[in-house]
Amino acid sequence: MELIIILAVVAAVGGAVGFGILLRKLATGPRTLPVTAEWIDELSLERYRPMMRLLSEDDLRFLSTQPGYNRKMAHQFRAQRCQIFRGYLRWLQGDFQRVCTAIRVLMLQSSHDRPDLASILLQQKAVFAMGMLSIHFRLFLYRWGWSGVEVDGVLRAFDSLRLELRQLVPAAAGMEA
């Protein structure tokens, strides 16, 4: 009986700590967002073009034709490419979060309700989250030579919200004038 009480207390404390960390993370979001047309244009998909070729089998096939090639080299090559690819994913996730935050801020500051935009935001966030989950799983498989990785879905979700934000920025600037 004492073990159950101890486990319940530990679970409650763990839940409270987790909730506190979540609240702190939400409260200490980005202080300023440079929501300008230039900032949005910098978030172009062109930034992620190298990512799409990074896991191509072409480079690995070329490596296998070189003298001295062995399976250890292929393993190291895949591991390095996965590490670089994860860096791109972190940038993409950060950019996506900044775009979502900027849209939410603009929605809150707007004098007009935009339930359509809120719906688009939720849909794209769900698509992005599921896509990222799939990418991380397939990246794990890629590292061991079992699967390729597709990033088109998350890039489309990101670009869709980026374009929505781009349309909102001139409207927001006109409201302030």
| DSSP code for 146 | S
Helix axes 71-109, 57-64, angle to 10 degrees: 160
What are the pLDDT digits (tens) for 145-173? 887 788 888 999 999 998 888 888 765 55
What one-letter code names the amino acid at 143? Answer: R
23-44 mean pLDDT:
65
Structural contact between residues 25 and 90, judged by C-beta atoms closer than 8 angstroms: no
23: pLDDT confidence band, cut at 50, 70 and 90?
low
State residue 71's pLDDT score: 86
The whole-model pTM stands at 0.71
- pLDDT for 91 beyond 70: yes
Which percentage of the chain shows pLDDT scores above 90? 29
3-class secondary-structure state, position 34: coil
Q: Where are the domains of the chain?
A: 1-31, 33-176
Structural contact between residues 120 and 164, judged by C-beta atoms closer than 8 angstroms: yes
State residue 84's pLDDT score: 94
Helix axes 71-109, 152-176, angle to 10 degrees: 30
State residue 124's pLDDT score: 93
3-state helix, strand, coil in the chain (%, to 5): 80, 0, 20
Structural contact between residues 91 and 57, judged by C-beta atoms closer than 8 angstroms: no
Dihedral, 171, 157, 46, 165 alpha carbons, nearest 10 = 10
What are the pLDDT digits (tens) for 126-143? 999 999 999 999 999 988
Helix (H) or strand (E) run with residue 89 in it: helix 71-109
State residue 15's pLDDT score: 75
Rounded CA-CA distance 144/156 in Å is 27
Q: Which of 46-60, 109-123, 158-172 has the weakest average pLDDT? A: 158-172
Q: What are phi and psi of 71, to 5 degrees?
A: -65, -30
State residue 85's pLDDT score: 94
